[in-house]
Amino acid sequence: EPNLLRIWKSYLALNYNEFLNYSLIGRTEKSVVINTLQKAHKHQIAFRKPDAYSLKSLAMIKKYIYVDFQALNETLEWILKLQDHHTGCWTPIGPNINHHLRNNETGQSLITSFVIIALLESQKWLNSPSNDVIESAFKCLQSTTKQHDAYTLVLSAHVHSLANKTEEANQYLIKLQQLATNDTVNNVTYWEQQVPGEEWISKSTSIQF
């Protein structure tokens, strides 16, 4: 949503600028970006959308502004309650723009990957979920990740890497490399994404994987 987009744009700008020792923007510009973050935070807390993306976004901006962590921990509790305790999976709720999430064969595994990523990347600031929750979610991925397109492989490698499951992450990266197209003329390696029933996607979009 637009408000989360503002949060991420501001966070990335500040983070990158910090890496450059604030040589990119001055104090005045930095204060403007932080003010944008503060306003976006207030809007997001007021909206109180309890999803993993909101949780991750707001948890990560703590280094720059005050964040209402009571609200975030309530969101965390809500997310954990939605996990299927038998399968370890999370199921997509409501309409999704992402066609991968609309796919019955990939939706459950992908949304579970997104939630795991949000939990792992937020745990340094929030109450950490138990290891049982995370391990149960990975069992879900083992049983539901059936397709091996580039999008699924990238996400699978990332989530396993975050959880320090290096061997599994490397296996996904090997499969990803096998799908790559090596353009030796232009010295470019890229992946093409096929989207049945959807509009054509340019090669430049595929390279962004």
Decide if 65 contacts 36 (C-beta within 8 A).
no
Q: pLDDT value at position 89?
A: 92
Mean pLDDT of 133-140: 93
Q: Report how far residue 140's alpha carbon sits from residue 114's, in angstroms, rounded to the nearest whole number.
A: 13
3-class DSSP assignment, residue 118: helix
Bridge partners of 189, per DSSP, are 182
Mean pLDDT of the chain: 81
Token pair listed for 102: 């609309």
Each residue of 156-189: pLDDT tens digit?
999 999 999 999 999 999 999 999 998 888 889 8
Segment of 73-82, 141-150, 169-178, 186-195 carrying the highest mean pLDDT: 169-178
Mean pLDDT of 48-57: 79
Q: Report how far residue 100's alpha carbon sits from residue 167's, in angstroms, rounded to the nearest whole number.
A: 25
Decide if 172 contacts 157 (C-beta within 8 A).
yes
Q: pLDDT value at position 48?
A: 65
| Cα–chain center distance at 176 | 19
Q: Report how far residue 157's alpha carbon sits from residue 148's, in angstroms, rounded to the nearest whole number.
A: 11
Domain residue limits, the chain: 1-47, 65-191
pLDDT band at 206 (very low <50, low <70, confident <90, very high): very low
Q: Report how far residue 5's alpha carbon sits from residue 70's, in angstroms, rounded to the nearest whole number.
A: 22
3-class DSSP assignment, residue 153: helix
Opening angle at CA 186, ends 180 and 191, nearest 5: 20
Q: pLDDT value at position 208?
A: 46
Q: Report how far residue 94's alpha carbon sits from residue 49's, in angstroms, rounded to the nearest whole number.
A: 13
Q: pLDDT value at position 200?
A: 42
CATH tag for 65-191 (out of 3.90.1640.10, 3.40.50.2300, 1.50.10.20, 1.20.1250.20):
1.50.10.20
Higher pLDDT, 41 or 49: 41
Q: Report how far residue 54's alpha carbon sits from residue 14's, in angstroms, rounded to the nearest whole number.
A: 19
Mean pLDDT of 16-43: 80
Higher pLDDT, 106 or 51: 51
Q: What percent of the chain has pLDDT over 90?
A: 25
pLDDT band at 13 (very low <50, low <70, confident <90, very high): confident
H helices, E strands: number in the chain = 10, 2
Each residue of 77-105: pLDDT tens digit?
889 999 998 999 998 776 665 656 655 55
Query: Rounded to the nearest 5°, which phi and psi values hold at 112?
Result: -65, -40
